[in-house]
Amino acid sequence: MAEIIFGLDIGTTKVCALVGEVREGQLQIIGLGLAPARGMRKGMVIDVTEASLAVAEAVEQAEHTSGYDLSEALVSMAGEHISCTNNTGMAAIGRNDNGVTVEDIEHALNMAQAIPIPHNRQIVHLVPRHYAIDEQEGISSPLGMHGFRLEVETHIVTAAKPALMNLSRCTENVGITVHDFVMNALASGEAVLDPNEKEMGVIVADIGGGTTDLALYSEGKVWHTKVFPVGGYHVTNDIAIGLRAPYEVAEEIKIQYGDCRPQEIDPNFVFTVEPFGGEKIQVGRQDLAYVIEARMEEIFQLILQEVKRSGYEGLLPAGIVLTGGSAQLRGITAVAENVMNVPARTATPRNLIGLIDRLHSPAYATSVGLLRWAMSDHHTYQPRQRQWELGRRMGTILKALLPD
């Protein structure tokens, strides 16, 4: 019997709802919904009503294309409120012939997450990095092994409760329960990374509209995460300020003419812009590239500083993998390699089957990664098939928002 999984990527610039069907370990995309994001800034909700309407639009499309009534989802999370730490847990191994049991592992993990955190924060991810039994370290799976003491080293991701509650409110307004939250960079890593890259040492940088989300992998596990409140929006805003043009005009210019390599741009190439006031001006494409290059260099400098702070500088032979909508900027890998002095590549979701025409883009790494995460963590849902009811989600929002 097929398993149905549902991922909801609520970003700063777009909302993407993906429905997947898993048969014999193979993922097929059977439902897709896209909507421009509203009520979001830097990965966080600033207007619940507007954000709910955008979520409703995307979910309705996903239900229509998949034919399923969706009620539960894995939801992406971003924002500067996300932070990480590492901690170790320990448990005595039961004296029996079975060695380490599932209960022993769970006890060690529970001890690892017993860290002091403020009342307004919560643990979202508890990722085992590696285990040790007595004096033997570097164990990836201790189940069934013998010894007296089990230790686990974990990476812990925490987030602000109010930020997560606001996201939950947006989904609940349209009848969707949050099964789990997944950090953007961890979801993207599931979609774009090769197991060899994770083993050797690699960093994923998901450069979205409002945030840049990092996940550093080594020895096949997550070792460090970080979110910066800067992304493609800031590049566009730089252009808008420099040209004194509306944001929408600056975004179109960035997409059509943007490049991160001013040295490779013909200095005689110019294009026309209509700024505020209506009088058209001529702009050099090379000048535009200098503006974009400066902002992207700043972003990669932030990433480099974080890698140094984590202690993994020089320990990332697989380099940096770029995803997110802003990873589509021309020449972005050249800037990454120049600043960080490691190999860089732009990645799209791997091994896609089904409704994939629009998903072969770095912008959908998180969306696809949510489904991959659901598969790896065995989160499954069995929604019922139904007849399509136009506007059902919008009606749910009205009931939630209007007073009795």
Burial 155-187, CB ≥16 within 10 A → b, else e? bbbbbbeebbebbbbbbbbbbbebbbbbbbbbb
Q: Count structural domains, the chain.
A: 2
Please say which residue of 242, 265, 295 terminates a domain: 295
Q: Looking at the domain assignment, is residue 396 inside a domain? A: no
Mean pLDDT of the chain: 91
pLDDT tens, residue by residue, 28-50: 999 999 999 999 999 999 999 99
Are the CB atoms for 8 and 383 separated by under 8 Å?
A: no
- What pLDDT does residue 403 have? 57
Q: Does 238 map to a domain? A: yes
pTM, 2 dp: 0.90
Does residue 259 fall inside a structural domain?
yes
| 300 inside domain | no
Question: Quick one: which of 57, 7, 1, 59 has its CA closest to 29?
Answer: 7
Distance between CA atoms of 366 and 230, rounded to whole angstroms? 17
Order the strands of the 121-133 sheet from edge to edge. 83-92, 149-160, 121-133, 136-139
Report the 3 state secondary structure along the chain: CCEEEEEEEECCCEEEEEEEEEECCEEEEEEEEEEECCCEECCEECCHHHHHHHHHHHHHHHHHHHCECCCEEEEEECCCCCEEEEEEEEEECCCCCCCCCHHHHHHHHHHHCCCCCCCCEEEEEEEEEEEEECCEEEECCCCCCCCCEEEEEEEEEEEEHHHHHHHHHHHHCCCCEEEEEEEHHHHHHHHHCCHHHHHHCEEEEEECCCCEEEEEEECCEEEEEEEECCCHHHHHHHHHHHHCCCHHHHHHHHHHHCCCCHHHCCCCCEEEECCCCCCCEEEEHHHHHHHHHHHHHHHHHHHHHHHHHHCCCCCCCCCEEEECHHHHCCCHHHHHHHHHCCCEEECCCCCCCECCCCCCCHHHHHHHHHHHHHHHCCCCECCCECCCCCCHHHHHHHHHHCCC
pLDDT at 94: 78
The least confident of 105-119, 130-144, 322-336, 387-401 is 387-401
Residue 129 lies in a domain: yes
Q: Are 325 and 184 in contact (CB under 8 A)?
A: no
Q: Mind listing the pLDDT tens digit for each residue in 301-320?
A: 999 999 999 998 888 999 99
Q: Which of 132, 161, 190 is the last residue of a domain?
A: 161
Res. 384 pLDDT band, cuts 50 70 90:
very low
CATH number at residue 107: 3.30.1490.110
358 pLDDT band, cuts 50/70/90, is: confident
Domain boundary pick from 295, 317, 350: 295
Asked if residue 172 belongs to a domain, the reply is no
- Domain of 275, CATH number, reads 3.30.420.40
pLDDT in the model for residue 160: 97
Is it the case that residue 393 has pLDDT exceeding 90? Answer: no
Please report whether residue 256 resides in a domain.
yes
**The pLDDT value given to residue 397:** 63
Residue 367 domain-assigned? no
Domain that holds residue 129: 83-161
Q: Give CA separation, 124 vs 9, 136, 252, 262, in Å.
A: 16, 29, 37, 41
| Statement: residue 378 has pLDDT above 70 | no
